[in-house]
């Protein structure tokens, strides 16, 4: 091999080492929100808990990777990934075309519909006319917020919040007429709590691909395709060996994965 070819080969190897996740490290830093129960939240002892967290740990075990978690506010989640604050997002993020322009996703690891919640003693018709003038709380920078803006934004007062919990509490306080979010989050994190006893779902569940994508996936930087492949293999592994079902059954009495 000539000196020029040897130097060229070394340069290619060095570039690969700095741009490919697999050559740089065997620890995955995982970004998550910690404010989206039951999928991710911080318990009274300050520890991250939830379905997303347990799934992340199971995937790292299946892929023989070390996990470190980084808590990040939702609206800074993708910017944080691109800034290399962490290597993957496991935070109930929907796989959408808009997000795929910036990041890549694994296959889905669950899929649930979005729904409206209202006070039990108030009649509401879920239509543009029925919601006219109503205030609807959504978590900002989410697919649920996009759906409400695009489908009802010309008739309702859309109120964005940093977290879903803040929106729920404003519904309880009477500052909102309805909230709109993932049905499981609203059920487990609100309706099944003492604060949510006087509230209920109204209208259908929404899974429109245009807004809600192909389910919930793990986001990685576009240059980290080897990490994406490792995580996809790990998703298949935990689905096949029963680990996924154990985690599912810890939180839900139905299969949160949705259709295959």
- pLDDT, one tens digit per residue, over 67-102 is 999 999 999 999 999 999 999 999 999 999 999 999
Report the number of distinct structural domains present in the chain.
Answer: 2
| Residues 247 and 149 occupy one common structural domain | no
Q: How many CB atoms lie within 10 A of CB 254?
A: 10
Same domain, 104 and 128: no
Listed in sequence order, the residues at least 6 apart from 256 whose beta carbon sits closer than 8 Å to its beta carbon are: 51, 110, 111, 112, 184, 248
Mean pLDDT of all residues in 32-38: 97
What ranges in 142-215 are assigned the alpha helix state H?
143-152, 164-172, 183-186, 209-212
pLDDT digits (tens, 9 = 90+) for 211-237: 999 999 999 999 999 999 999 999 999
- Check if the beta carbon of residue 203 is closer than 8 Å to that of residue 126: yes
The contacts of residue 146 (CB under 8 Å, 6+ apart) are 211
| Interval 182-193: pLDDT, tens | 999 999 999 999
> Where does the pLDDT of residue 11 fall: very low under 50, low under 70, confident under 90, or very high at 90 and above?
very low
- Whether residue 244 is contained in a domain is answered as yes
Residue 178 lies in a domain: yes
Q: What is the mean pLDDT of the chain?
A: 92
Do 203 and 227 sit in the same domain of this protein?
no
Residues 223 and 179 in one domain: no
Which three-class secondary structure state does DSSP give residue 73?
A: coil
CATH of the domain at 54: 3.40.190.10
Quick one: 207 and 220 in the same domain? no
For residue 56, give its domain range: 3-111+216-251
Q: Return the pLDDT at 25.
A: 60
Q: Give yes or no: residues 137 and 61 share one domain.
A: no
Distance CA 147, CA 205 (A): 12
């Amino acid at each position: 091999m000539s000196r020029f070819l040897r130097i060229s080969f070394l340069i290619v190897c060095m570039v690969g080492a700095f741009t490919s996740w697999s050559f740089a490290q065997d620890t995955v830093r995982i970004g998550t929100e910690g404010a989206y129960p039951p999928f991710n939240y911080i318990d009274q002892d300050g520890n991250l808990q939830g379905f997303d967290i347990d799934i992340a740990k199971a995937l790292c075990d299946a892929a023989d990777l070390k996990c470190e978690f980084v808590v990040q506010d939702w609206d800074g989640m993708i910017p944080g990934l691109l800034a290399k604050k962490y290597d993957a997002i496991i935070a109930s993020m929907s796989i959408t075309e808009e997000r795929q322009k910036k990041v890549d996703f694994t296959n889905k690891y669950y899929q649930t519909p979005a729904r409206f919640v209202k006070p039990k003693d108030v009649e509401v018709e879920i239509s543009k006319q029925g919601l006219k003038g109503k205030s609807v709380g959504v978590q900002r920078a989410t697919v649920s917020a996009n759906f409400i803006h695009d489908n009802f934004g010309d008739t309702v007062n859309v109120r964005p919040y940093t977290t879903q919990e803040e929106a729920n509490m404003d519904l309880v306080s009477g500052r909102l007429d309805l909230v709109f979010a993932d049905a499981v989050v609203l059920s487990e994190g609100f309706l099944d709590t003492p604060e949510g006893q006087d509230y209920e779902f109204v209208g259908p569940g929404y899974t429109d691909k245009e807004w809600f994508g192909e389910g919930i996936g793990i986001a990685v930087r576009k240059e980290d395709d080897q990490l994406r492949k490792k995580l996809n293999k790990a998703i298949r592994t935990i689905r096949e060996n029963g680990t996924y079902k154990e985690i599912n059954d810890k939180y839900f009495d139905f299969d949160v994965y949705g259709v295959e």
